Structure 1
Amino acid sequence: MAADALAELAKRRGFFFGSNGAYGGTAGFYTFGPQGAALKRNVEDAWRDRFTIREGNREIEAPTIMPEAVFEASGHLEGFDDMLVECPECGESHRADHLVEDATEIEDAEALPGEEVAELIADEGIACPACGTELAGQPVEAFNLMFATDIGPGDAQPGYLRPETAQGIFVEFPRLKEYARGNLPFGITQIGPAYRNEISPRGGLLRLREFTQAELEQFIDPEEDEPPLDRVRDVEVRLYPATEQEADDGDYLDTTVGEAVDEGVIGSPWVGYYLGVAQEWYERVGVDLDRFRFRQHLAGERAHYAADCWDAESEVDGDWIEIAGFAYRGDYDLSKHDEYGDDAFTVFKRYDEPKTVERATVDPDMSVLGPEFGGDAGAVADALEALAGRDPDAFDGETVTVDVNGETREVDADVANFAVEEVTESGEHITPHVVEPSFGVGRTVQTLLAHAYSEDEVDGEERTYLSLEPEVAPQDAAVFPLVTNDDRLTALADEVAADLRAAGLAVAYDDSGSIGRRYRRQDEVGTPFCVTVDRDGIEGDGPDTVTLRERDSAAQVRIPVDDLADELTALREGEPFASVADRYDAVDTDVETEGN
């Protein structure tokens, strides 16, 4: 399936389209139409069910704008950059690494240094896609992707739109740990928008300036907490390790999660666990697993905080795209916010039995430090306390040296009042480590549409349909009166649609055109089941019946109206249509071509 065919269907049938078209459009922003918004919402609900509810986690909703200090602590101000190259002729800006990837066989130019990317642009004779001017000799510069804003009027506080939902979880950790009663492990999830000022948005929903993430931050004690790996040990996965990517004859590794963890291919059991959970979830929502893999980050592309990182990737229109990332972030995030923030980003880990330990302490004589160091006296005292815990031997001499605000300060050892005391401790404060599965919702939606796009022939007529899983399809069913000139049929069809909606099902109602055309319309938006009210179903002495048609096979069964809501609910929850079909009489499918 070509990308333009999916884009045309997505726009025509109300899945997604470029925003602000009345004003010329705005690159990197898409509006989800009625079908797309419903599909996206169902994907989010399915993710919430698996990663929040079934894992016993809790969900929060944090602001999308945060003060500058948050991103100074997180490192985004300094290192959240992409490679920009500007055309000297037309002034268009481009992602330099993308230009290299498009023109060469290099798959991950993002992992290369900027200087090397600039050399490749020159060596390959890469030109500006907009005007054709060669870009050799143009500098490749780092461009920060965050959207800046001001919080408040006047001398406003600088802020940024969040580039990921994760920081909203990390900065609230001091309060979130209270809700967990300080017990590790615990997980916090969040589904919401994030913003990145992409240099060159492209690929429909694949690279946007506003997009939706679904993220889980799992907080663990790295010395004690182990994942429930046995739950996914036998899940089969297709891995693309870094070693295979770098080898001349590298290939995929088809294995199980358990084997990959045991053999060290996946370095963290926690990451392995979530790869297994994700594999099962992607299959559940309808990703074609023949077009799916987990790719390990190369050393050059791995984030500085990540000990190991894997991407879930899907094949769309011949390209592999990242749809989720799985990272072991260590204690980087909480340690940074502990350093910059005012709260404690640690948890108290209680020992099984109290321990008697030696602890180095200081009790600085402030009557001496005050006159000597003035306003820095408190900072000198804090520095002495930190030094005592870190390097007790530093107090062996007559004087002690500490660094305060970039300056060296010398204090007499007797003024520091250093001592080593025996104390009984019931526990210690530790900084949890973080394991993060992070999913791109829009990219998942585009993957599902691409993988569900199908063409076949029904009753001698070609059709296009979306083979979406019932759980995520925009609508659960559509209801049709076979003809509109029979009041009995239209009245029953109205009643059936109302009853199904009252049962919590998303139902479309369509009485326009031939029954075959109505089926085609619903097939094209992925509606899994169609209910047709016909005369055969209301004539006779028995209860009223309708035909229930399954989208992919076009098979139909006749089913009592009273059974319909329960059967559709079961189908939405995963019961195979074949099981339902076994309980009812089959219907000849020539009804598809009947006129109105």
Structure 2
Amino acid sequence: MSNADPATETAEATSEKLVELAKRRGYFFQSSGAYGGVGGFYTFGPQGASLKGNVEDAWRDRFAVAEGNMEIDAPTIMPEPVFEASGHLDTFDDMLIECPECETSTRADHLVEDNTEYEDAESLPIPEVEEVIAEYELVCPECGAGLADVAVENFNLMFATNIGPGDADPGYLRPETAQGIFVEFPRLKEYARNQLPFGVTQIGRAYRNEISPRRSIIRTREFTQAELEYFIDPENDEPDLSSVEDVSVTLYPASEQNSEDGDELETTIGEAVSEGIISDEWVAYFLGVAKPWYDAVGVDMDRFRFRQHLSGERAHYAADCWDAEGEIDGNWIELAGFANRTDYDLSKHAEHSEDRFTVFRQYDEPQTVERATVDPDMSYLGPEFGGDAQAVVSALETLAERDRTAFEGDTVEIDLEDETHELPVEKTGFAVEEQTEAGEHILPHVIEPSFGVDRLVYTVLHHAYREDEVAGEERTYLELEPEVAPMFVGVFPLQNDDDLEAQADDIVAALRAEGLSVTYDDSGNIGRRYRRQDEVGTPFCVTVDFETIENEETTVTVRERDSTEQKRLPVDGLAETLAAIREGDLEFDEL
């Protein structure tokens, strides 16, 4: 007898049907199938590529265009120093456990989450994960061998490559699109006229060498991100919450997750900020922007929430982070992360590079301040340090700015290439001077909404999947929002007839001229053609019949997907009418 939850079994059955439909109807399928396929890589077929593109366009319209943000397109391969600076080479790890019998590698935290009551094993330290595996006597999911005494290790997810031939420079495929924005900040700030706040968006591929990719396009090794990096002055810039304060949200804060009887909270953005549930107003603003957007592209709001990261699962750069999550198969999956990255990224790149990552903040009035300066005696430094003399100057300037007390004795110590050097203070030209300044250079902080496009596509499809019965026949259809549906309208000549087909061709041309995506289908009976379009989620079908060409007024039958209701509409103005429906300016019921 199975102890599985019937609701979960039903959801899993839906996922199985969806994956089969996706392959059969050209949404997505495993790549390189002719060679046996490869885990974690998927190809989006004609329908999937169109749906994905529509989702990306909708994201661009809301988070780039409507917010007045820039968009860039950076390379997917970047040199090693970028990721040394960002911390990815040291901290971008997942927990790996390898079966001693079959040598299958598995993510240890997923193994725990799938087989115990622990929901967020990713936030646990490795020793605790090992203890849980031993306590529950967990086994290899592939061969069933015991894993109780097997060590859990960190596995870095970066894909390494080489740039150039011969003694090539090491590089990596980017694990996120964000670094492509951060490293170009010195130039991007110029495009923003050095005025904070400003935002930079990017939609593109990212790569993570997942230990155990699973659940079709939910967890893959190559995926698409849509990210916004919003640069702010942490002392002076505040968001205008008035436009989002009334947005209703379901929140699952860390305090509730850590409570034995904790539960989700139903509230509004404004109330969550005033009550301290969301402490960062910028994060709250973007949660308020994202909620109606997710609704508009077809995520079921009854299966959607924002969950705050626990302290142990936050990324190394995040001061606070909330995930947008959608429910799939009885489980919550991450759709986006909304993080306050502070000045971590810009400070790291400023430290490791030779460029300036600050923005000049103008004072309301000039201020007189004391500044520690150095003017080293180069006739002393040159013979003493040779080619390293300029590095000594830089070290002295940094030390004077950071700790002027270091110059209070007769000598001062500096570190140069892991060696400590002692210099006479009189040779450094150290002085404290009064200066009148118009402003100061500051490191902006970064607020980051980061969206996973592939996961969102899967969620939209899963939440749109429907089964019903029409005229005694079972029907499967996708209740996709018109804004993102791969095809908006199908056009059918009722029969293979030259006059009907000519009229249908004219209608197709008129609809496409109006900017609508159209498919033409003259194969099989009309009922089968309707079913095909229902199954791929096409909102409307237009049928050209003999009434169209015989009656004085040229009309066609327009069928709506969800209700299967049909209406007779004139061909004149049809394209404009359907375009108005797609834009949300007109309802089919109003016709």
TM-score by length of 2: 0.96
The answer to whether the Cα contact below 8 Å between 2:232 and 2:446 also exists between their aligned partners in 1 is yes
Q: Provide the secondary structure at the position in 1 that maps to 2:133.
A: helix
Partner amino acid, structure 1, of 2:532: R
Corresponding residue to 2:382 among 370, 394, 397 = 370
The answer to whether the Cα contact below 8 Å between 2:137 and 2:147 also exists between their aligned partners in 1 is yes
Residues 278-320 of structure 1 show CA distances to partners (whole Å, capped at 9, x for unaligned) of 0010011010000000000000001122111000000011111
Q: Provide the secondary structure at the position in 2 that maps to 1:91.
A: coil
Question: Partner of 2:154 in structure 1?
Answer: 142
Corresponding residue to 1:57 among 60, 65, 69 = 69
Residues 431-462 of structure 1 show CA distances to partners (whole Å, capped at 9, x for unaligned) of 10000000000000000000000111222222
Partner amino acid, structure 1, of 2:243: R
Shift of 1:42: 0.3
Residues 255-291 of structure 1 show CA distances to partners (whole Å, capped at 9, x for unaligned) of 0011111211111110000001100100110100000
Q: Determine if the alignment matches structure 1 residue 492 to structure 2 residue 500.
A: no
Question: Partner of 1:398 in structure 2?
Answer: 410
Shift of 1:489: 1.5
Q: Provide the secondary structure at the position in 2 that maps to 1:468.
A: coil
Provide the rounded CA distance (Å) in 2 between the counterparts of 1:153 and 1:79. Answer: 29
The answer to whether the Cα contact below 8 Å between 2:539 and 2:561 also exists between their aligned partners in 1 is yes
The answer to whether the Cα contact below 8 Å between 2:91 and 2:316 also exists between their aligned partners in 1 is no
Question: Partner of 1:120 in structure 2?
Answer: 132
Partner amino acid, structure 1, of 2:524: G
Corresponding residue to 1:261 among 265, 273, 295 = 273
Question: Partner of 2:197 in structure 1?
Answer: 185
Partner amino acid, structure 1, of 2:518: V
Shift of 1:369: 2.2
Q: Determine if the alignment matches structure 1 residue 582 to structure 2 residue 590.
A: yes
Q: Provide the secondary structure at the position in 1 that maps to 2:577.
A: helix
Q: Determine if the alignment matches structure 1 residue 567 to structure 2 residue 577.
A: yes
Superposed, 1:193-208 pairs within 5 Å as: 193-208=205-220
Corresponding residue to 1:133 among 114, 127, 145 = 145
The answer to whether the Cα contact below 8 Å between 1:83 and 1:140 also exists between their aligned partners in 2 is yes
Shift of 1:378: 2.4
Q: Provide the secondary structure at the position in 2 that maps to 1:498.
A: helix
The answer to whether the Cα contact below 8 Å between 1:11 and 1:17 also exists between their aligned partners in 2 is yes
The answer to whether the Cα contact below 8 Å between 1:380 and 1:409 also exists between their aligned partners in 2 is no
**Segment drifting more, 294-303 vs 354-363:** 354-363
Question: Partner of 2:28 in structure 1?
Answer: 16
Corresponding residue to 1:307 among 311, 319, 327 = 319
Q: Provide the secondary structure at the position in 2 that maps to 1:82.
A: strand
Provide the rounded CA distance (Å) in 1 between the counterparts of 2:388 and 2:178. Answer: 36
Shift of 1:354: 1.6
**Segment drifting more, 550-559 vs 65-74:** 550-559
Partner amino acid, structure 2, of 1:155: D
Superposed, 1:312-391 pairs within 5 Å as: 312-391=324-403
**Segment drifting more, 198-207 vs 397-406:** 397-406
The answer to whether the Cα contact below 8 Å between 1:476 and 1:506 also exists between their aligned partners in 2 is yes
Q: Provide the secondary structure at the position in 1 that maps to 2:332.
A: strand
Corresponding residue to 2:186 among 155, 160, 174 = 174
The answer to whether the Cα contact below 8 Å between 1:401 and 1:410 also exists between their aligned partners in 2 is yes
Shift of 1:487: 2.5
Provide the rounded CA distance (Å) in 1 between the counterparts of 2:287 and 2:320. Answer: 12
Question: Partner of 1:510 in structure 2?
Answer: 521
Shift of 1:557: 1.4
Provide the rounded CA distance (Å) in 1 between the counterparts of 2:590 and 2:20. Answer: 38
Corresponding residue to 1:25 among 30, 34, 37 = 37
Shift of 1:373: 3.2
Question: Partner of 1:591 in structure 2?
Answer: none
Provide the rounded CA distance (Å) in 1 between the counterparts of 2:571 and 2:97. Answer: 63
Partner amino acid, structure 1, of 2:557: T
Shift of 1:575: 3.4
Residues 301-349 of structure 1 show CA distances to partners (whole Å, capped at 9, x for unaligned) of 0112211100000001111100100000000000000001111111111
Corresponding residue to 1:425 among 429, 432, 437 = 437
The unaligned stretches of length 5 or more in structure 1 are 584-596
Question: Partner of 2:565 in structure 1?
Answer: 555
Corresponding residue to 1:217 among 203, 208, 229 = 229
Provide the rounded CA distance (Å) in 2 between the counterparts of 1:329 and 1:44. Answer: 24
Provide the rounded CA distance (Å) in 1 between the counterparts of 2:269 and 2:546. Answer: 54
Provide the rounded CA distance (Å) in 1 between the counterparts of 2:134 and 2:532. Answer: 50
Partner amino acid, structure 2, of 1:553: S
Shift of 1:421: 1.4
Shift of 1:374: 3.5
Corresponding residue to 2:535 among 510, 514, 524 = 524
Q: Determine if the alignment matches structure 1 residue 158 to structure 2 residue 165.
A: no
The answer to whether the Cα contact below 8 Å between 2:217 and 2:455 also exists between their aligned partners in 1 is yes
Q: Provide the secondary structure at the position in 2 that maps to 1:393.
A: helix
Residues 212-243 of structure 1 show CA distances to partners (whole Å, capped at 9, x for unaligned) of 00000001111111112111010000000001
Shift of 1:128: 0.9
Partner amino acid, structure 2, of 1:246: N
Q: Determine if the alignment matches structure 1 residue 274 to structure 2 residue 286.
A: yes
Corresponding residue to 1:538 among 532, 545, 549 = 549
Partner amino acid, structure 2, of 1:565: A
Q: Determine if the alignment matches structure 1 residue 7 to structure 2 residue 13.
A: no
Provide the rounded CA distance (Å) in 1 between the counterparts of 2:548 and 2:587. Answer: 21
Q: Provide the secondary structure at the position in 2 that maps to 1:62.
A: coil
The answer to whether the Cα contact below 8 Å between 2:326 and 2:334 also exists between their aligned partners in 1 is yes
Partner amino acid, structure 1, of 2:439: G
Q: Provide the secondary structure at the position in 2 that maps to 1:200.
A: coil
Superposed, 1:385-464 pairs within 5 Å as: 385-464=397-476
Provide the rounded CA distance (Å) in 2 between the counterparts of 1:397 and 1:161. Answer: 50
The answer to whether the Cα contact below 8 Å between 2:94 and 2:156 also exists between their aligned partners in 1 is yes
Shift of 1:474: 0.3
Shift of 1:541: 2.2
Provide the rounded CA distance (Å) in 1 between the counterparts of 2:384 and 2:518. Answer: 79
Q: Provide the secondary structure at the position in 1 that maps to 2:155.
A: strand
Partner amino acid, structure 1, of 2:212: S
Partner amino acid, structure 2, of 1:528: P
Provide the rounded CA distance (Å) in 2 between the counterparts of 1:27 and 1:11. Answer: 16
TM-score by length of 1: 0.95
Partner amino acid, structure 1, of 2:91: G
Residues 14-69 of structure 1 show CA distances to partners (whole Å, capped at 9, x for unaligned) of 10001111101100000101100100000000000000000000110000000000
Provide the rounded CA distance (Å) in 1 between the counterparts of 2:76 and 2:552. Answer: 61
The unaligned stretches of length 5 or more in structure 2 are 1-10
* Count of residue correspondences: 579
Provide the rounded CA distance (Å) in 2 between the counterparts of 1:540 and 1:302. Answer: 67
Provide the rounded CA distance (Å) in 1 between the counterparts of 2:356 and 2:392. Answer: 21
The answer to whether the Cα contact below 8 Å between 1:550 and 1:577 also exists between their aligned partners in 2 is no
Provide the rounded CA distance (Å) in 2 between the counterparts of 1:517 and 1:189. Answer: 43
Shift of 1:361: 1.1
Q: Provide the secondary structure at the position in 2 that maps to 1:349.
A: strand
Shift of 1:494: 1.4
Q: Provide the secondary structure at the position in 1 that maps to 2:573.
A: helix
Partner amino acid, structure 2, of 1:400: V
Shift of 1:576: 4.8
Question: Partner of 1:465 in structure 2?
Answer: 477
Question: Partner of 1:501 in structure 2?
Answer: 512
Partner amino acid, structure 2, of 1:413: V
